Amino acid sequence: MAYQRMRLLHICLLVLGALCLYFSMYDPSPFEEGLFVFKKECGEFLQLPDIDCRQNPPFLVLLVTSSHKQLAARMAIRKTWGREAVVRGRRAKTLFLLGTTASQAERQAVAEESRQHRDIIQKDFVDVYYNLTLKTMMGLQWVHRFCPQVAFVMKTDSDMFVNVEYLTELLLRKNRTARFFTGYLKLNEFPIRTRFSKWFVSKYEYPWDKYPPFCSGTGYVFSSDVASQVYNVSESVPFLKLEDVFVGLCLQKLNIRPEELHSEQTFFPEGLRFSACRFRRVVACHFVKPHDLLLYWQALEGSRGEDCPAV
C-alpha cells in the first residue's frame, strides 16, 4: 500500500512539474482579448525644458531616458556629451525624460533639478522599466508639440557614450531631411517566449512570430518629421512594453525602413573598449558608467587635434 501511495505521489509531482514547465514556456491564453492600445493624450507634462524651438531651433535634440535615482549619470552627461555643443554651426541640445515615483523626496529632488538645469521633460506615469514605451512616446510627443522645427532627434539612454560631433557630421554628410530613421539595425528579430527573460513577450501581447525591422533602443536617430508621424500612428498599433520594437511597429505602419547612417558600424549596443581614436568614430556606445564617461571625455578632449592611425 505504502509503495503504491509513493508511486501516486511521484506521478502527481511529475505531472505538476510538467505543467509548471508548460506554463513557464507558453502563454496559456493567446488572442483571447483585444491587444493593448497606447493612449496618446494620457497625462499632462509636469516639467518642461527651457528651450524655444520657434525662435532658435537646434539642429539635433538628444532625448535621454533616465530615472530619479540616476542623478550621477545625468550630471556626467551634462558635463560631457550633453553639454550644449555647436558643430559646423549646428547646435545640439540634450534633454532628459522622466516619469514619477511614489517617493516624495525623489519627486522634490527632480523638481529642484529641473528648476536648476531646465533640461527635464516629465509626465505623470510610474517610472519603471516596463513603462519605457510611455517614456519614449512622451519624448516624441514633446518633439511633435514643442519642437517640430528641430532637424533630427536622437533617443538614447543614460548609460551611453554619444559622440555628438561625429553624429552631426554624419547627418550632414548623409543629407537627408525626411522619413529618415537610423541606429543599430535589427532586421531579423523574434519575440522571446521564455518567461524569466527581461525581454519576455507573451503571445497575448504580441501574437506574431517575427518583429518588424527596428533599431536597438540604446540609441536611434531620426528626422523630426518621424516623431510626429510615429506619434500619430501610435494608437493604431498594438502596445508593446519593448519601446524599440513598438517604434518599429509604428515605422512599419508608416512604410519607413530603418537605414544605415554610415558604411562602417557607428552604433555599439553591446559596448566597446575605450580608446580615444576609436571613440572619435563611434556615434553611440553602451555600458558606460558616469565615472568612466568623465574619464573618456577627458581623454578625448586631451587628444583633440592629434592624429589617429588610418583604418
Strand partners, 63: 95, 155
Q: Based on CB atoms, which residue is closest to ligand NAG, 111 or 294?
A: 111
* CB of 177 vs ligand NAG, minimal distance in Å: 7
Q: Any idea how long the chain is? A: 311
- Assess 232 for contact with ligand NAG (CB under 6 A): yes
CA distance 154 to 94: 9
* Set of cell numbers at residue 53: 524651438
Q: Based on CB atoms, which residue is closest to ligand NAG, 162 or 171?
A: 171
Strand partners, 185: 215
**SS3 helix, strand, coil % of the chain, rounded to 5?**
40, 20, 40
Q: Based on CB atoms, which residue is closest to ligand NAG, 144 or 186?
A: 144
Closest CA to 154 of 59, 94, 220: 220
Among 83-91, 199-207, 224-232, 245-253, the segment contacting ligand NAG (CB under 6 A): 224-232
Please select the residue that binds ligand NAG; options are 101, 228, 252, 303, rule is CB under 6 A.
228
- Assess 216 for contact with ligand NAG (CB under 6 A): no
* CB of 175 vs ligand NAG, minimal distance in Å: 4
Binding mask 111-150 toward ligand NAG (x if CB under 6 A, else -) reads --------------xx-x-xx-------------------
Please select the residue that binds ligand NAG; options are 4, 104, 116, 175, rule is CB under 6 A.
175
Q: Which helix (H) or strand (E) holds 112?
A: helix 104-117
Q: How many CA atoms does the CB half-sphere of 12 hold within 13 Å?
A: 6
Please select the residue that binds ligand NAG; options are 229, 256, 269, 284, rule is CB under 6 A.
229
- Assess 202 for contact with ligand NAG (CB under 6 A): no
Q: Based on CB atoms, which residue is closest to ligand NAG, 80 or 141?
A: 141
Contact 56, 86 (CB under 8 A): no
Buried b (16+ CB within 10 A) or exposed e, 118-142: ebbbbbebebeeeebbbbbbbbbbb
Q: Based on CB atoms, which residue is closest to ligand NAG, 4 or 175?
A: 175
Among 88-96, 113-121, 227-235, 264-272, the segment contacting ligand NAG (CB under 6 A): 227-235
Closest CA to 274 of 286, 258, 262: 286
Instruction: Tell me which DSSP letter residue 126 carries.
Output: E
Size of the site for ligand NAG (CB under 6 A): 9
**Binding positions for ligand NAG, rule: CB under 6 A:** 125-126, 128, 130-131, 175, 228-229, 232
